[in-house]
Amino acid sequence: MKRLRLWPQSLVGQVILLVAIALFVAQAINFALLLRERNRLELTGQTAPAVYRIVDALDSRGDRRADDRRVRARFTDAPPRVEGQRRPDVESRAAAMFEDIGLQMRSIRAVQDSESLPMRRWERLRARASGAEPVMHNVGRLVMAAEYEPGKWVVTQTRTGERPQRFGGWLIGQTAILYVIVLLPLLWVGRRLARPLRQLTESAEQFARTGAADPVDERGPGDVRQLTTAFNAMRARIFLMLNEKDRMLGAIGHDLRTPLASLRVRTESVEDEGERARMSETIDEMNRMLEDILSLARAGRSSESTQKVDLSALADAVVEDFLELGSPVDMAESARAVANVRPQQIRRALRNLIENATVYGERAHVSVARRDGAIHLIVEDDGPGIAEDRMEEMMEPFTRLEGSRNRDTGGAGLGLALVRAIMAEHGGSLHLANRAEGGLEASLILPA
Protein backbone atom coordinates (compact mmCIF):
# COMPACT_ATOMS: atom_id res chain seq x y z
CA MET A 1 0.00 0.00 0.00
CA LYS A 2 1.35 3.40 -0.98
CA ARG A 3 2.10 5.77 1.89
CA LEU A 4 0.30 9.10 1.77
CA ARG A 5 2.81 11.89 1.28
CA LEU A 6 1.91 14.90 3.41
CA TRP A 7 5.39 16.42 3.46
CA PRO A 8 6.03 18.67 0.42
CA GLN A 9 8.89 17.76 -1.88
CA SER A 10 10.05 21.28 -2.74
CA LEU A 11 12.32 23.31 -0.46
CA VAL A 12 10.02 26.34 -0.60
CA GLY A 13 7.02 24.21 0.37
CA GLN A 14 8.93 22.71 3.29
CA VAL A 15 9.97 26.18 4.55
CA ILE A 16 6.40 27.49 4.34
CA LEU A 17 5.05 24.39 6.11
CA LEU A 18 7.68 24.69 8.87
CA VAL A 19 6.85 28.38 9.37
CA ALA A 20 3.13 27.54 9.53
CA ILE A 21 3.80 24.82 12.11
CA ALA A 22 6.05 27.18 14.12
CA LEU A 23 3.32 29.85 14.10
CA PHE A 24 0.76 27.30 15.22
CA VAL A 25 2.99 26.10 18.08
CA ALA A 26 3.75 29.69 19.11
CA GLN A 27 0.04 30.55 19.09
CA ALA A 28 -0.73 27.42 21.12
CA ILE A 29 1.83 28.43 23.76
CA ASN A 30 0.48 32.00 23.68
CA PHE A 31 -3.06 30.64 24.07
CA ALA A 32 -2.04 28.57 27.09
CA LEU A 33 -0.35 31.56 28.75
CA LEU A 34 -3.24 33.91 27.98
CA LEU A 35 -5.80 31.37 29.19
CA ARG A 36 -3.87 30.92 32.40
CA GLU A 37 -3.68 34.69 32.94
CA ARG A 38 -7.35 35.10 32.03
CA ASN A 39 -8.40 32.44 34.52
CA ARG A 40 -6.28 34.10 37.18
CA LEU A 41 -7.91 37.48 36.48
CA GLU A 42 -11.38 35.94 36.51
CA LEU A 43 -10.63 34.22 39.80
CA THR A 44 -9.42 37.52 41.23
CA GLY A 45 -12.50 39.30 39.86
CA GLN A 46 -14.78 36.76 41.52
CA THR A 47 -12.92 36.80 44.83
CA ALA A 48 -12.15 40.50 45.27
CA PRO A 49 -15.74 41.78 45.90
CA ALA A 50 -16.35 39.23 48.65
CA VAL A 51 -12.98 39.96 50.26
CA TYR A 52 -13.67 43.71 50.07
CA ARG A 53 -17.04 43.29 51.78
CA ILE A 54 -15.56 41.17 54.54
CA VAL A 55 -12.73 43.65 55.14
CA ASP A 56 -15.22 46.55 55.11
CA ALA A 57 -17.46 44.73 57.58
CA LEU A 58 -14.55 44.01 59.93
CA ASP A 59 -13.46 47.64 59.77
CA SER A 60 -17.01 48.89 60.50
CA ARG A 61 -18.01 46.40 63.19
CA GLY A 62 -17.13 48.83 66.05
CA ASP A 63 -18.91 51.74 64.42
CA ARG A 64 -22.50 51.73 65.60
CA ARG A 65 -23.42 54.33 62.96
CA ALA A 66 -22.40 51.99 60.20
CA ASP A 67 -25.20 51.30 57.77
CA ASP A 68 -25.78 47.58 57.50
CA ARG A 69 -27.02 48.04 53.98
CA ARG A 70 -23.71 49.59 52.98
CA VAL A 71 -21.64 46.91 54.68
CA ARG A 72 -23.69 44.03 53.22
CA ALA A 73 -22.18 41.37 55.48
CA ARG A 74 -23.40 39.62 58.62
CA PHE A 75 -21.68 38.24 61.66
CA THR A 76 -22.46 34.89 63.28
CA ASP A 77 -21.15 32.90 66.22
CA ALA A 78 -21.60 29.51 64.53
CA PRO A 79 -20.18 28.11 61.32
CA PRO A 80 -22.64 29.02 58.57
CA ARG A 81 -24.43 26.27 56.71
CA VAL A 82 -24.44 27.00 52.98
CA GLU A 83 -25.15 24.62 50.14
CA GLY A 84 -23.65 24.59 46.69
CA GLN A 85 -20.42 23.77 44.90
CA ARG A 86 -17.34 24.40 47.00
CA ARG A 87 -14.65 26.62 45.43
CA PRO A 88 -11.19 25.70 46.79
CA ASP A 89 -9.57 28.02 44.24
CA VAL A 90 -11.54 30.99 45.55
CA GLU A 91 -10.64 30.03 49.14
CA SER A 92 -6.91 29.93 48.29
CA ARG A 93 -7.06 33.23 46.41
CA ALA A 94 -9.03 34.90 49.25
CA ALA A 95 -6.50 33.69 51.85
CA ALA A 96 -3.68 35.22 49.79
CA MET A 97 -5.56 38.53 49.43
CA PHE A 98 -6.31 38.68 53.17
CA GLU A 99 -2.65 38.00 53.90
CA ASP A 100 -1.59 40.77 51.50
CA ILE A 101 -3.60 43.35 53.48
CA GLY A 102 -2.40 42.01 56.85
CA LEU A 103 -5.42 39.96 57.98
CA GLN A 104 -4.94 36.43 59.23
CA MET A 105 -8.11 34.38 58.82
CA ARG A 106 -8.39 31.16 60.77
CA SER A 107 -10.63 29.52 58.15
CA ILE A 108 -12.28 30.44 54.87
CA ARG A 109 -15.18 28.74 53.15
CA ALA A 110 -16.45 29.60 49.66
CA VAL A 111 -19.48 28.04 47.98
CA GLN A 112 -21.03 28.88 44.62
CA ASP A 113 -24.55 28.17 43.41
CA SER A 114 -27.02 29.58 40.88
CA GLU A 115 -30.25 31.43 41.50
CA SER A 116 -32.80 33.41 39.50
CA LEU A 117 -32.58 37.12 40.27
CA PRO A 118 -34.17 40.17 38.66
CA MET A 119 -32.11 42.38 36.39
CA ARG A 120 -30.12 45.19 37.91
CA ARG A 121 -31.28 48.75 37.39
CA TRP A 122 -28.92 49.53 34.52
CA GLU A 123 -29.79 46.18 32.90
CA ARG A 124 -33.51 47.02 33.11
CA LEU A 125 -32.89 50.43 31.54
CA ARG A 126 -30.92 48.91 28.68
CA ALA A 127 -33.63 46.26 28.12
CA ARG A 128 -36.37 48.94 27.98
CA ALA A 129 -34.30 51.04 25.57
CA SER A 130 -34.04 48.06 23.23
CA GLY A 131 -37.76 47.26 23.53
CA ALA A 132 -37.28 44.02 25.50
CA GLU A 133 -39.19 43.05 28.63
CA PRO A 134 -37.24 42.83 31.90
CA VAL A 135 -37.01 39.18 32.96
CA MET A 136 -35.42 37.06 35.62
CA HIS A 137 -32.08 35.53 34.67
CA ASN A 138 -29.75 32.99 36.22
CA VAL A 139 -26.58 34.33 37.77
CA GLY A 140 -23.87 32.77 39.88
CA ARG A 141 -23.89 33.50 43.60
CA LEU A 142 -20.71 33.23 45.60
CA VAL A 143 -21.09 32.84 49.38
CA MET A 144 -17.92 33.38 51.42
CA ALA A 145 -17.56 32.85 55.17
CA ALA A 146 -14.38 33.80 57.05
CA GLU A 147 -13.52 32.86 60.67
CA TYR A 148 -11.65 35.92 61.91
CA GLU A 149 -11.62 34.87 65.60
CA PRO A 150 -12.29 31.52 67.28
CA GLY A 151 -16.00 30.87 66.80
CA LYS A 152 -16.54 34.28 65.15
CA TRP A 153 -17.61 34.27 61.49
CA VAL A 154 -18.41 36.92 58.96
CA VAL A 155 -20.51 35.93 55.93
CA THR A 156 -21.12 37.76 52.66
CA GLN A 157 -22.36 36.93 49.18
CA THR A 158 -21.67 38.39 45.73
CA ARG A 159 -22.90 37.87 42.19
CA THR A 160 -20.42 36.34 39.78
CA GLY A 161 -22.39 36.65 36.51
CA GLU A 162 -22.35 34.33 33.50
CA ARG A 163 -20.70 36.20 30.62
CA PRO A 164 -20.36 34.40 27.26
CA GLN A 165 -16.99 32.92 26.46
CA ARG A 166 -15.48 34.93 23.58
CA PHE A 167 -11.83 34.25 24.24
CA GLY A 168 -11.54 31.33 21.79
CA GLY A 169 -13.04 33.22 18.87
CA TRP A 170 -10.78 36.21 19.52
CA LEU A 171 -7.71 33.99 19.56
CA ILE A 172 -8.75 32.23 16.32
CA GLY A 173 -9.17 35.62 14.64
CA GLN A 174 -5.78 36.75 15.93
CA THR A 175 -4.17 33.56 14.58
CA ALA A 176 -5.79 34.03 11.16
CA ILE A 177 -4.53 37.62 10.97
CA LEU A 178 -1.04 36.48 11.96
CA TYR A 179 -1.05 33.79 9.28
CA VAL A 180 -2.15 36.32 6.65
CA ILE A 181 0.51 38.85 7.68
CA VAL A 182 3.36 36.31 7.82
CA LEU A 183 2.50 33.62 5.27
CA LEU A 184 1.35 35.79 2.36
CA PRO A 185 4.70 37.63 2.05
CA LEU A 186 6.46 34.30 2.57
CA LEU A 187 4.41 32.74 -0.24
CA TRP A 188 5.33 35.66 -2.51
CA VAL A 189 9.03 35.25 -1.71
CA GLY A 190 8.72 31.49 -2.15
CA ARG A 191 7.16 31.84 -5.59
CA ARG A 192 9.88 34.32 -6.58
CA LEU A 193 12.49 31.75 -5.55
CA ALA A 194 10.69 28.69 -6.88
CA ARG A 195 10.04 29.95 -10.43
CA PRO A 196 13.71 30.18 -11.57
CA LEU A 197 14.62 27.05 -9.59
CA ARG A 198 11.80 25.11 -11.27
CA GLN A 199 12.94 26.32 -14.69
CA LEU A 200 16.51 25.33 -13.81
CA THR A 201 15.33 21.84 -12.78
CA GLU A 202 13.30 21.40 -15.96
CA SER A 203 16.28 22.45 -18.11
CA ALA A 204 18.59 20.00 -16.30
CA GLU A 205 16.04 17.17 -16.68
CA GLN A 206 15.62 18.02 -20.36
CA PHE A 207 19.39 17.84 -20.85
CA ALA A 208 19.58 14.47 -19.07
CA ARG A 209 16.69 13.13 -21.18
CA THR A 210 17.50 14.48 -24.66
CA GLY A 211 21.06 15.80 -24.53
CA ALA A 212 19.78 19.31 -25.27
CA ALA A 213 18.48 22.01 -22.96
CA ASP A 214 17.09 25.52 -23.29
CA PRO A 215 18.93 28.34 -21.48
CA VAL A 216 17.42 29.46 -18.18
CA ASP A 217 16.25 33.04 -17.67
CA GLU A 218 18.55 34.80 -15.20
CA ARG A 219 16.10 36.28 -12.70
CA GLY A 220 15.20 36.11 -9.03
CA PRO A 221 17.33 36.94 -5.97
CA GLY A 222 21.07 37.43 -6.33
CA ASP A 223 22.08 33.94 -5.24
CA VAL A 224 19.58 32.33 -7.63
CA ARG A 225 20.77 34.55 -10.50
CA GLN A 226 24.37 33.50 -9.83
CA LEU A 227 23.34 29.84 -9.85
CA THR A 228 21.44 30.32 -13.13
CA THR A 229 24.38 32.14 -14.71
CA ALA A 230 26.74 29.33 -13.69
CA PHE A 231 24.34 26.71 -15.09
CA ASN A 232 24.02 28.52 -18.42
CA ALA A 233 27.80 28.82 -18.67
CA MET A 234 28.21 25.11 -17.88
CA ARG A 235 25.52 24.23 -20.43
CA ALA A 236 27.24 26.25 -23.16
CA ARG A 237 30.61 24.67 -22.34
CA ILE A 238 29.16 21.13 -22.42
CA PHE A 239 27.48 21.80 -25.75
CA LEU A 240 30.77 23.02 -27.23
CA MET A 241 32.53 19.89 -25.95
CA LEU A 242 29.83 17.57 -27.32
CA ASN A 243 29.80 19.29 -30.68
CA GLU A 244 33.58 19.05 -30.84
CA LYS A 245 33.34 15.35 -29.95
CA ASP A 246 30.80 14.74 -32.73
CA ARG A 247 33.01 16.49 -35.26
CA MET A 248 36.00 14.47 -34.09
CA LEU A 249 34.09 11.18 -34.29
CA GLY A 250 32.83 12.05 -37.76
CA ALA A 251 36.39 12.76 -38.89
CA ILE A 252 37.67 9.52 -37.33
CA GLY A 253 34.87 7.52 -38.98
CA HIS A 254 35.59 9.09 -42.35
CA ASP A 255 39.34 8.63 -42.05
CA LEU A 256 39.00 4.97 -41.03
CA ARG A 257 36.39 4.07 -43.63
CA THR A 258 38.64 5.31 -46.45
CA PRO A 259 41.52 2.84 -45.82
CA LEU A 260 38.99 0.06 -45.13
CA ALA A 261 37.39 0.71 -48.50
CA SER A 262 40.87 0.66 -50.04
CA LEU A 263 41.60 -2.69 -48.38
CA ARG A 264 38.34 -4.12 -49.71
CA VAL A 265 39.37 -3.13 -53.24
CA ARG A 266 42.79 -4.72 -52.80
CA THR A 267 41.25 -7.97 -51.58
CA GLU A 268 39.73 -8.40 -55.02
CA SER A 269 43.24 -8.93 -56.41
CA VAL A 270 43.90 -11.90 -54.10
CA GLU A 271 43.74 -15.07 -56.15
CA ASP A 272 43.05 -17.48 -53.29
CA GLU A 273 39.28 -17.43 -52.83
CA GLY A 274 39.44 -18.67 -49.25
CA GLU A 275 41.95 -16.01 -48.25
CA ARG A 276 39.94 -13.36 -50.08
CA ALA A 277 36.76 -14.38 -48.25
CA ARG A 278 38.50 -14.28 -44.86
CA MET A 279 39.92 -10.83 -45.60
CA SER A 280 36.48 -9.57 -46.62
CA GLU A 281 34.96 -10.93 -43.43
CA THR A 282 37.64 -9.17 -41.38
CA ILE A 283 36.98 -5.87 -43.14
CA ASP A 284 33.21 -6.26 -42.61
CA GLU A 285 33.81 -6.98 -38.93
CA MET A 286 35.98 -3.89 -38.60
CA ASN A 287 33.27 -1.80 -40.28
CA ARG A 288 30.62 -3.14 -37.88
CA MET A 289 32.88 -2.56 -34.89
CA LEU A 290 33.62 1.00 -36.06
CA GLU A 291 29.90 1.66 -36.52
CA ASP A 292 29.11 0.29 -33.03
CA ILE A 293 31.85 2.39 -31.41
CA LEU A 294 30.65 5.56 -33.14
CA SER A 295 27.02 4.82 -32.25
CA LEU A 296 27.91 4.22 -28.61
CA ALA A 297 29.96 7.43 -28.49
CA ARG A 298 27.05 9.43 -29.96
CA ALA A 299 24.44 7.92 -27.59
CA GLY A 300 22.18 10.58 -26.14
CA ARG A 301 22.65 12.99 -29.06
CA SER A 302 20.75 11.27 -31.83
CA SER A 303 19.53 13.43 -34.71
CA GLU A 304 16.58 11.10 -35.34
CA SER A 305 13.23 12.55 -34.28
CA THR A 306 10.71 10.64 -32.18
CA GLN A 307 7.59 9.20 -33.79
CA LYS A 308 4.49 7.34 -32.69
CA VAL A 309 5.24 3.74 -33.64
CA ASP A 310 3.40 0.46 -33.20
CA LEU A 311 6.16 -1.56 -31.54
CA SER A 312 4.45 -4.87 -32.36
CA ALA A 313 4.58 -4.04 -36.08
CA LEU A 314 8.18 -2.83 -35.77
CA ALA A 315 9.24 -6.07 -34.03
CA ASP A 316 7.41 -8.14 -36.65
CA ALA A 317 9.29 -6.33 -39.45
CA VAL A 318 12.65 -6.98 -37.75
CA VAL A 319 11.79 -10.67 -37.31
CA GLU A 320 10.84 -10.88 -41.01
CA ASP A 321 14.28 -9.55 -41.95
CA PHE A 322 15.95 -12.32 -39.91
CA LEU A 323 13.65 -14.98 -41.36
CA GLU A 324 14.59 -13.96 -44.89
CA LEU A 325 18.23 -14.60 -43.96
CA GLY A 326 17.31 -18.03 -42.61
CA SER A 327 17.85 -17.22 -38.92
CA PRO A 328 15.98 -19.33 -36.31
CA VAL A 329 13.61 -16.62 -35.07
CA ASP A 330 9.87 -16.67 -34.29
CA MET A 331 7.44 -14.08 -32.94
CA ALA A 332 4.40 -14.60 -30.73
CA GLU A 333 1.07 -12.99 -31.54
CA SER A 334 1.10 -9.58 -29.79
CA ALA A 335 -1.44 -6.80 -29.31
CA ARG A 336 -0.94 -3.31 -30.66
CA ALA A 337 1.47 -1.23 -28.52
CA VAL A 338 2.09 2.39 -29.54
CA ALA A 339 4.84 4.56 -28.08
CA ASN A 340 6.90 7.66 -28.98
CA VAL A 341 10.32 6.31 -29.97
CA ARG A 342 13.15 6.77 -32.46
CA PRO A 343 12.33 3.85 -34.81
CA GLN A 344 15.81 3.21 -36.23
CA GLN A 345 17.35 3.09 -32.77
CA ILE A 346 14.71 0.66 -31.48
CA ARG A 347 15.25 -1.49 -34.59
CA ARG A 348 18.97 -1.57 -33.88
CA ALA A 349 18.49 -2.43 -30.20
CA LEU A 350 16.05 -5.24 -31.03
CA ARG A 351 18.31 -6.53 -33.81
CA ASN A 352 21.28 -6.70 -31.39
CA LEU A 353 19.26 -8.76 -28.91
CA ILE A 354 18.03 -11.15 -31.63
CA GLU A 355 21.58 -11.60 -32.96
CA ASN A 356 22.83 -12.41 -29.45
CA ALA A 357 19.95 -14.89 -28.96
CA THR A 358 20.68 -16.72 -32.24
CA VAL A 359 24.45 -16.78 -31.65
CA TYR A 360 24.50 -17.75 -27.96
CA GLY A 361 21.04 -19.27 -27.40
CA GLU A 362 20.40 -21.27 -30.59
CA ARG A 363 16.99 -19.65 -31.22
CA ALA A 364 15.20 -16.32 -30.59
CA HIS A 365 11.58 -16.03 -29.42
CA VAL A 366 10.25 -12.45 -29.78
CA SER A 367 7.09 -11.03 -28.16
CA VAL A 368 5.61 -7.66 -27.15
CA ALA A 369 3.63 -7.20 -23.92
CA ARG A 370 2.29 -4.51 -21.59
CA ARG A 371 3.33 -4.86 -17.95
CA ASP A 372 3.02 -2.39 -15.06
CA GLY A 373 2.22 0.56 -17.34
CA ALA A 374 5.22 -0.06 -19.65
CA ILE A 375 5.79 -1.79 -22.99
CA HIS A 376 8.18 -4.77 -22.99
CA LEU A 377 9.90 -5.98 -26.16
CA ILE A 378 11.01 -9.45 -25.04
CA VAL A 379 13.64 -11.65 -26.70
CA GLU A 380 14.05 -15.15 -25.22
CA ASP A 381 16.54 -17.84 -26.20
CA ASP A 382 17.20 -21.50 -25.46
CA GLY A 383 20.83 -21.09 -24.41
CA PRO A 384 22.65 -21.57 -21.09
CA GLY A 385 21.77 -18.09 -19.75
CA ILE A 386 24.09 -15.81 -17.77
CA ALA A 387 25.27 -16.14 -14.18
CA GLU A 388 23.32 -13.80 -11.90
CA ASP A 389 26.48 -12.09 -10.63
CA ARG A 390 27.50 -11.18 -14.19
CA MET A 391 24.23 -9.66 -15.41
CA GLU A 392 25.30 -6.03 -14.85
CA GLU A 393 28.84 -6.70 -16.04
CA MET A 394 27.58 -7.96 -19.43
CA MET A 395 26.02 -4.56 -20.18
CA GLU A 396 29.37 -2.77 -19.89
CA PRO A 397 31.28 -1.86 -23.11
CA PHE A 398 33.81 -4.38 -24.45
CA THR A 399 32.59 -7.12 -22.10
CA ARG A 400 31.99 -10.62 -23.42
CA LEU A 401 30.67 -13.73 -21.71
CA GLU A 402 33.43 -15.71 -23.42
CA GLY A 403 36.72 -14.01 -22.66
CA SER A 404 39.00 -15.52 -25.32
CA ARG A 405 38.35 -12.70 -27.83
CA ASN A 406 37.99 -15.32 -30.52
CA ARG A 407 36.14 -13.76 -33.46
CA ASP A 408 34.29 -17.02 -34.09
CA THR A 409 32.57 -16.90 -30.68
CA GLY A 410 31.25 -13.34 -30.59
CA GLY A 411 31.79 -9.69 -31.42
CA ALA A 412 33.58 -6.87 -29.63
CA GLY A 413 31.26 -6.82 -26.61
CA LEU A 414 29.47 -3.59 -27.56
CA GLY A 415 26.00 -4.95 -28.38
CA LEU A 416 24.36 -4.86 -24.93
CA ALA A 417 26.15 -1.61 -23.99
CA LEU A 418 24.71 0.04 -27.10
CA VAL A 419 21.24 -1.35 -26.35
CA ARG A 420 21.36 0.00 -22.79
CA ALA A 421 22.44 3.45 -24.08
CA ILE A 422 19.53 3.49 -26.55
CA MET A 423 17.08 2.57 -23.78
CA ALA A 424 18.45 5.29 -21.49
CA GLU A 425 17.95 7.85 -24.29
CA HIS A 426 14.30 6.75 -24.50
CA GLY A 427 13.76 6.94 -20.74
CA GLY A 428 13.55 3.12 -20.56
CA SER A 429 15.85 0.29 -19.52
CA LEU A 430 17.35 -3.05 -20.52
CA HIS A 431 16.53 -5.96 -18.21
CA LEU A 432 18.22 -9.39 -18.29
CA ALA A 433 16.88 -12.44 -16.45
CA ASN A 434 17.36 -16.20 -16.63
CA ARG A 435 14.27 -18.19 -17.60
CA ALA A 436 13.02 -20.89 -15.25
CA GLU A 437 12.85 -23.41 -18.13
CA GLY A 438 16.35 -22.46 -19.29
CA GLY A 439 17.75 -19.71 -21.45
CA LEU A 440 17.93 -15.93 -21.13
CA GLU A 441 15.17 -13.33 -21.32
CA ALA A 442 16.24 -9.85 -22.48
CA SER A 443 13.59 -7.12 -22.27
CA LEU A 444 13.50 -3.63 -23.75
CA ILE A 445 11.32 -1.70 -21.32
CA LEU A 446 9.81 1.50 -22.73
CA PRO A 447 7.34 3.93 -21.09
CA ALA A 448 3.92 3.58 -22.68
Neighbours of 72 (CB within 10 A): 14
Three-state DSSP state, 303: coil
Summarize pLDDT for 2-44 with one digit per residue, the tens: 444 555 566 667 777 788 888 888 888 888 888 888 888 888 8
d(CA 36, CA 42): 10
Task: Tell me the backbone φ, ψ of residue 413, rounded to 5 degrees.
Answer: 85, 25
d(CA 72, CA 51): 12
Percent of the chain, pLDDT > 90? 8
Output the CA–CA distances (angstroms, integers) from residue 52 to 56, 72, 141, 159, 193, in the order listed.
6, 11, 16, 13, 63
Average pLDDT, the chain: 78
d(CA 60, CA 246): 110
Three-state DSSP state, 440: strand
Task: Tell me the backbone φ, ψ of residue 219, rounded to 5 degrees.
Answer: -145, 170
Summarize pLDDT for 382-393 with one digit per residue, the tens: 888 888 878 787
Summarize pLDDT for 323-332 with one digit per residue, the tens: 998 889 999 8
d(CA 171, CA 7): 27
Contact between residue 98 and residue 51 where contact means Cβ atoms under 8 Å apart: yes
d(CA 270, CA 216): 61
Give the list of residues 6+ apart from residue 198 with CB closer than 8 angstroms, or none: none
296 vs 289, higher pLDDT:
289
d(CA 264, CA 3): 64
Percent of the chain, pLDDT > 70? 78
Summarize pLDDT for 148-196 with one digit per residue, the tens: 888 888 998 887 765 545 556 777 777 788 888 888 888 887 777 778 8
Domains of the chain: 11-163 (no CATH), 200-301 (1.10.287), 304-447 (3.30.565.10)
Contact between residue 432 and residue 395 where contact means Cβ atoms under 8 Å apart: yes
- pTM score, two decimals? 0.48
